[in-house]
A and B are shown apart, each in its own frame.
Chain A
Amino acid sequence: MTGRRVAIAGVGQTPFRHRYPDVIYPDLVREATRLAVADAGLRIADVDAVVYSMAPDALIGVSHAERWVVDAAGAAGRPLLRVNTGGSTGLSAVQAAHDHVASGLCEAVLIVGADRVGESGDAQTILNRIWDPMYERALPLNTITMLAMQAVRFMEKYGATERDMARVSVKNHRNGCRNRYAHIRQEVTVDEVLRSRMISYPIKLYDCCPQSSGAAAMVLVSPERATRLPRPPAWIKGLGFSAETYWMGDRMGPAAESDHAESPALRRAVTAACRAAGISAPAAAIDVAEVYAPFSCVELHAIQDAGLCEPGRVMALLAEGYFDLDGALPVNPSGGVMCANPIAVTALVRAIEATLQVTGRAGEHQVPKARTALATGIGGDHQFFAAAVIGAEP
């Protein structure tokens, strides 16, 4: 990247839960802000600007909540703007904040957001409203049925099975038990996954993410400010983003613009991020990946579309333990989105976990000697794809 380098000085997360009945929304934001700013060894007065990470307004029942949280984010009288690209919002917010600093306009920028998906009533009813009211909304689509179709196509094209999906779930739930911020901290077996309630074939209950509430934050600083931090920071090495078509129908049938089994835009986003980081072969250069995958089937295609293995090899490698916490290339050591999905900050948490890994602060789910990490995000109807390469060195 050609602008000045950008360091990740501090991160903060609340524990993710189904509900926070005793905390109002701005107080979740206030807590994540406090944690990240303190982690950076700064005071809120040291922050020049805030990028607010918030996806659909309807999930918390307050429209334009970025205004409600101005005081809680320490932004009164200061620059604040909100980024919203659906599930990829958290990484889009990292991109925006990165540019605030890399441009030379700011020295320290806070990224913060919160969500109350578990308290939204029925998140899938809300998420049905992301589709066009004239054509596709009535199918009825939601993020589960949409990705069930994607899974069926992936199984057909690459020979994946429900058992392969279950192995993803087993791995991630095992990892989530080691992450004190994870919403779901419960191990499952392959048989338990296969026997769990069918939600939308082939996705079963234990293939699904939870509906999570909680907050997360990150502080980015300039190289000059990074020299005064209490500990060595992580560094943003590369960023990428690419969009696919909005229409489900454009991904199916003989006239499909892209194959629903795959995500060419994820490949483009990761390629762009890796190119900026000077990486030509992600599978060799990445030590650990936090891949946005709210359902087990998504992780299967996301791993190969991110270039972490050859297409079609992911099932065999998964069965060998290649992507386990102690495997050759650990994927989602935090438990990933399957163990916590506070939508507004889910992709931000991927970047936070990548930061903790490359700075050796991931605790019980630390990957030994992790120096370079990949974080990805997916937003819209499997439409927006974001990627960030985060490293221990500038």
Chain B
Amino acid sequence: MPSDTAPEIVGVRMSRFAACLAEVSLEELIYQTCRDLLRDLGLSARDLDHVALASSDMVDGRAISMMVTAGSAAGYGRDVINSSSSGEHALVLSAVRILAGRGRLGLVAAWGKPSEAPLAVGDSLSLDPFYQRALRLERTAFLGLQAARYLARRPEAAADAAAVVERRLASARRNLRSALSGTEATPGGPAPSGAAASGRADDVVAWPLRRRDVPPPTDGAVAMVVATPEVARGIAARRAAIRGLGWASDAYWLGDRDVTRLPALAEAWSTARRRAGGAPPLDVVELSDISPYHEMMVCEALGLSGKDGARVVVNPSGGLRASNPEFGAGLCRVAEAALQVMGQADPCQVNGARWALGHGVAGLGATTHTVVLLEGVA
């Protein structure tokens, strides 16, 4: 997207992440995150001309959950829009609005408080009521089905998966913004939901996945301010310019595709590259590693598996081990990518990071993908 019009992220803020943030309500969690971000940037809610949110009724436990959360996110009295398909789609809505010339400065926010949500029930209710719902599948089963097929295609992936998990856990423990910050947590961290909810780290939760392979959900919120380049320059010295943006959905039915590949992600990445005017030399990728096998599938779809991908640092934040608020996790990945190119990602800053990609995923079977290509500007 042209440098004179490409929206820029001028600041990001993430809440504390933990398996359960019992001390704050959902409304307080969102409010504190957005208030702190605006205060950091010297802005007030009155400066905003739009607010773009992402919320899931099922995760938030309310019908039209953005009704109660919009006020917490500076939405009262303002122009608000809300996506319910994926957390990072809030950023897409803000970006297209700014590119369309209908906005100059917007607040983007997403969140999740899965400690209060029966995620497995929500998963079941998202399945079509005629064919799939009676199977009582939930997210872990879908992850296992895809991982098993991937393992059949690449038997050597089992060893790679174990190494990936250890690397991500080590990174997440170093990251001060992480649910595992400074801990010597049990591998796998807090208990995941559904079939992975109890037992030891080595227990198989959905073959070939073991409990440690599935990043546990966390409570938390993420917010960012997005602006036109002109406005952005007046707010922050270092920004993350959105050079490419792509999002796509795969076919709904697992039987309609090769589940070891992510064609929607490949399409989204292709679109983002085209909009960026070509493939830049990526320094960092913050991807949604819903399982180590899915991380490998994502790397394949992004073309990071070959020699060219060797120099790219993947998930220096620890990925979903660091921050995994259901429905807001993809926007956390974009936030971590933005911090990298703004030089604000300590203590997991990648030296000299200029180009970064943030990736979000949604849907059972990893059907919905979004990529945001960021360049650091000053």
Once A66-B85, A84-B83 are accepted as A-B contacts, the answer to whether A78 and B97 lie under 8 Å apart by CB is no
| Chain-B contact segment, one of A127-135, A204-212, A330-338 | A127-135
Contact between B264 and A77 (Cβ–Cβ < 8 Å)?
Answer: yes
**Beta-carbon contacts under 8 Å, A94-133 to B:** 95-96, 98-105, 126-127, 129-130, 132-133
| Chain-A contact segment, one of B10-18, B71-79, B168-176, B298-306 | B71-79
Chain A interface bracket (under 10, 10 to 19, 20 to 34, 35 or more): 35 or more
In whole angstroms, how far apart are the Cα atoms of A241 and B102 in the complex?
12
Taking a contact as CB atoms closer than 8 A, the residue among B82, B85, B97, B363 that contacts A99 in the complex is B97
In whole angstroms, how far apart are the Cα atoms of A58 and B77 in the complex?
27
**Beta-carbon contacts under 8 Å, B355-378 to A:** 362-364, 367-368
Contacts of B63 in A (CB 8 A): 56-58, 126-127, 129-130
Taking a contact as CB atoms closer than 8 A, the residue among B57, B77, B83 that contacts A83 in the complex is B83
In whole angstroms, how far apart are the Cα atoms of A3 and B96 in the complex?
10
Once A84-B83, A241-B81, A246-B71 are accepted as A-B contacts, the answer to whether A102 and B367 lie under 8 Å apart by CB is no
Once A58-B57, A64-B56 are accepted as A-B contacts, the answer to whether A81 and B92 lie under 8 Å apart by CB is yes
Once A84-B82, A95-B81 are accepted as A-B contacts, the answer to whether A245 and B76 lie under 8 Å apart by CB is yes
* Consensus secondary structure, chain B interface: mixed
Contacts of B246 in A (CB 8 A): 79
In whole angstroms, how far apart are the Cα atoms of A92 and B362 in the complex?
22
In whole angstroms, how far apart are the Cα atoms of A96 and B251 in the complex?
23
Contact between A63 and B57 (Cβ–Cβ < 8 Å)?
Answer: yes
Once A83-B83, A86-B67, A243-B75 are accepted as A-B contacts, the answer to whether A76 and B250 lie under 8 Å apart by CB is yes
| Minimal Cβ-Cβ distance residue in B for A86 | B64
Contact between B57 and A56 (Cβ–Cβ < 8 Å)?
Answer: yes
The number of residue pairs between A and B whose CB atoms lie closer than 8 Å in the complex comes to 202
Contact between A24 and B130 (Cβ–Cβ < 8 Å)?
Answer: yes
Contact between B249 and A67 (Cβ–Cβ < 8 Å)?
Answer: yes
Cβ of B100 under 8 Å from chain A: yes
In whole angstroms, how far apart are the Cα atoms of A84 and B60 in the complex?
14
| Minimal Cβ-Cβ distance residue in A for B70 | A243
| Minimal Cβ-Cβ distance residue in A for B128 | A68
In whole angstroms, how far apart are the Cα atoms of A65 and B364 in the complex?
12
Cβ of B146 under 8 Å from chain A: no
In whole angstroms, how far apart are the Cα atoms of A377 and B8 in the complex?
31
Max chain B Cβ within 10 angstroms of own Cβ: one of A24, A99, A133: A99
Could you list some 15 contacts between A and B, CB below 8 A? Answer: A62-B129, A69-B252, A75-B249, A77-B264, A82-B83, A83-B81, A84-B64, A85-B66, A85-B81, A102-B101, A103-B100, A104-B99, A127-B63, A243-B77, A245-B71
The 4 closest A-B pairs by CB, nearest first: A2-B101, A103-B99, A102-B100, A3-B100
B interface, CB within 8 angstroms of A: 55-58, 62-64, 66-68, 70-71, 75-86, 89, 92-93, 95-97, 99-102, 122, 125-130, 245-253, 256, 263-264, 267-268, 271, 275, 362-364, 367-368
